[in-house]
Every structure is written in C-alpha cells, then in structure tokens.
A and B are shown apart, each in its own frame.
Chain A
Amino acid sequence: MEFVGLEEDRLHFSWISSAEAVKFADVAKQVAEKVKVLGPNKKFVKRYPTKDTE
C-alpha cells in the first residue's frame, strides 16, 4: 500500500498478548497520534458518484 503512495502511518501492525493491556493502550495512543498528524485520509477513499460524473 505504501508502494502506491499511501502514507506509512495509515496502516499499523502490532503484536500484543492478551496480558499486555498497557502496551495496548500505549500503542493505541501512538496510532491515534500518528494518524492525527497525517490528517484525514484521501487516498484509496472511494468517491461515490452522487450526481452526473461530468
């Protein structure tokens, strides 16, 4: 996805075991923070046609 130009921070992967509540909350904060920095996503978003496409 990055290859086609999606910002790196729009996709996050992590491994958190069921015991790692702290890590979960931390990662959640980081993810939210990074995405906020990026601003609203414009890529890959389907613009649904609402009226004549012309």
Chain B
Amino acid sequence: MKMISIKKSDWAGAMEKVQKSYRLAGPVKEKKGHTFRELKDGETPDLEYSETRMSVKEVVLPQSEVMFSYSLDENKEGHHILEEVPFDETPRAAVGIRPYDAKAVEILKKNFMTEDYKDPYFERRYENLTLVGMAENNPSPVNFSTSCGTGPFDESCLDIILADAGDSYIGKALTEKGEKFAAAAGFAEGDSGVEAKLAELKEQAEGKIKSKVSFDKIEKMTILDLYEAPFWEEAAFACINCGTCTYACPTCWCFDIQDEVKGKDGVRMRNWDTCMSEVYSVHTTGHDPRHEAWQRTRNRFMHKLKYYLDKYEDGIMCVGCGRCVSQCPVNIDIRKVCQQMNDYEPSK
C-alpha cells in the first residue's frame, strides 16, 4: 500500500500525464456548479467541489448504451443479425469520486456481476475502470453515508483514496489498479504522516455527519407488514413520480432495452429506466400492478430498504449520499421514510 502526497499545484500536470494512458471521468466546474462526466483531453478533474449531481454510475452504467447494431437490408451480408458494437479498451479512471459512491459501484455489481451471470457491458466497463476517490472533509447536511456501512473516507471500494490536506492531496493507492494509476500519474510518494493525517481527517469528517438512518427493525419485519403499512399513502402523497431520485441515485440499476431504427439500419440500446414511471411497470395487457402513483413510490423504498436487504443480507441499497434528498422537487426524504419504516409497529 503506497502512500501518496501530491501538491495541488502539481495536480493538473499529473492528470495531463495520466491521460496519455487513461480515459478520465471526473468532476468539472461548469456554469451551474460541478458536474460529473467524461473528460475531454486536457480537462482536469477538479477536486475542489462539494457535490456532483450525477454520480459515477454514468461511467459503469451509462444512461444510454448501444448494445448491438443490425441491418434490415436484405441485400447486405449479415442482415437481421445482431452485431456487437466495438468497445474502446483504453483503461479508464473515475477520478475524484466520493468514497461512498464507490461503494455504490459495489452494490451495482451485485446485480450485474453475480456468480451465475455477468453482464458483459457492465463487466467490461468495471474491469477496465480505476476508481480514484476523493474523501469528503465537509460532508453535506443531507449526507448520511456513515449509517449505510460506508462514509466520507471509506476505502473499501476504491483503488486510490485521496484527501484534501490544505495545499496538497494526500492519500494511498489501495489496490494494484490504484498503484498502476498512481504510477502513470507520477503521484509523489507520501511519508508516514499521511496515514495519521488521513485518520484525523476521517474522524473530523465523520463527526460532522449529523444525519442518520437506522434499519435494524426493518430487517425483522415481514415484507407484507411493511407493504401494507398505513403510512405509505401519506409519505408518498407529494411524490410526482419523476425520475430524479432514480437517475441521481448511484445504486439504482434499472434499465430498459429499446430498438431504434432509421431506414434499414438499427441499433439495440439500453437506457436508464425509472420505477417511478408508469410505463415501467405496465404489462402488455394494459394491467399495471402499480397503477397508483404512491404504489410506485412505495416500491422504490421497499426495494431499497427491504427487498434488497432481505435478498442480499448486506445492508440497504443506499450509500447515504443524499442526492435524492437534495434533488427531490417535493422534498421526499429517504431518511424520514426509512425512519417511518423502522419505527413502524404492525398492529396485528
């Protein structure tokens, strides 16, 4: 495990260097604040940010991704056969992601990279990706990552962790991938003080997180009890069923497969889908098991906080980043809902 310490003034140079062998994604300051996206050549990931509206999910599971292309032209060879689209094998790195967002990638893996089934699109992106984290010294008021088995300094899912130590970034390469990246970037080696400093920053940061959720009791309740709990209609009343929370969420993994054809050429692509939308659940018969708006909201929370919990027995499907809380147009707050679920006492 190699310590890293790099002067802030050297950061841009290091990134320029690393771009020779890596494609980067990271936070970029734009007019309206920081966004997280793929970087163009020469763009530097800006680590001086507080939050990005979109997460690292875009890198492993893009909003729209072409899976196959095909031709319907019978005069062409291989018509009506799905052809794989080429994939750029250049190593990629997501630089400056929050440690708890990396945890979200781990959660996504539970869906896309299981023992029995590996989604090739996700897998190739994941395997090719180095996760360079940027710890968060000042977690936002809506951050509750520490309740979700991760935190602003969680190293468990990263390849490199960096943290802001005044005029330099300090950190460590946590994996082999991380070390390769550090070498490619030419990060200077840090001294033994780095470890201690990291621990100190971590303690400070975690101490700043006031917001918490508990799901200990949810685990023990039956699905049916929770499903039929009386508070759902009220909790979901305000929900307008937009896709904001699901798209902002680093762990929401649903997608929809679509064909787009122009003339005789077509592609099959997959796009993020959202369980908030009615077309998500409606059957071809026209029947919709979640026809009412509040039922869709209930489903989202039940999935994140109960179904997932029961199925994987590894906490909730949430890393506590707080994006959904701050972006929700009507202020539906997962912390409050989780509390309501946890506090619920089936009358029985």
A interface, CB within 8 angstroms of B: 46, 48-54
Contact = CB atoms under 8 A, between A and B. Distances in A.
Interface in B17-49: 38
Interface stretch (B63-71, B127-135, B175-183, B307-315): B63-71
Contact of A52 (B87, B260, B265): B87
Contacts, number: 31
A29 to B, nearest CB: 29
Given A53-B64, A53-B65, A53-B66, A48 B267 contact: yes
B88 interface: yes
B184 interface: no
B85 interface: yes
Contacts of A52: 65-66, 85-88
B287 interface: no
B267 to A, nearest CB: 6
A53 B65 CA distance: 7
Interface string B52-86: 00000000001011100100000000000000011
Interface of B: 38, 62, 64-66, 69, 85-88, 260, 262, 265, 267, 269
Contacts of B88: 52, 54
A35 B29 CA distance: 40
9 closest Cβ pairs, A-B complex: A48-B262, A51-B85, A49-B66, A52-B85, A49-B267, A52-B66, A48-B260, A50-B69, A52-B87
B65 to A, nearest CB: 7
Given A49-B64, A52-B87, 8 more contacts: A46-B262, A48-B260, A49-B260, A49-B269, A51-B69, A52-B88, A53-B65, A54-B62
A43 B157 CA distance: 44
B267 A50 contact: yes
A53 B265 contact: no
Contacts of B85: 51-52
A54 B38 contact: yes
15 contacts: A46-B262, A48-B260, A48-B265, A49-B66, A50-B69, A50-B267, A51-B66, A51-B69, A51-B85, A51-B86, A52-B66, A52-B85, A53-B65, A54-B38, A54-B62
A29 B86 CA distance: 45
A50 B267 CA distance: 6
A9 to B, nearest CB: 25
A50 to B, nearest CB: 6
A51 B88 CA distance: 11
A19 to B, nearest CB: 38
A34 to B, nearest CB: 26
A22 B81 CA distance: 50
A50 B38 CA distance: 20
Nearest to B262: A48
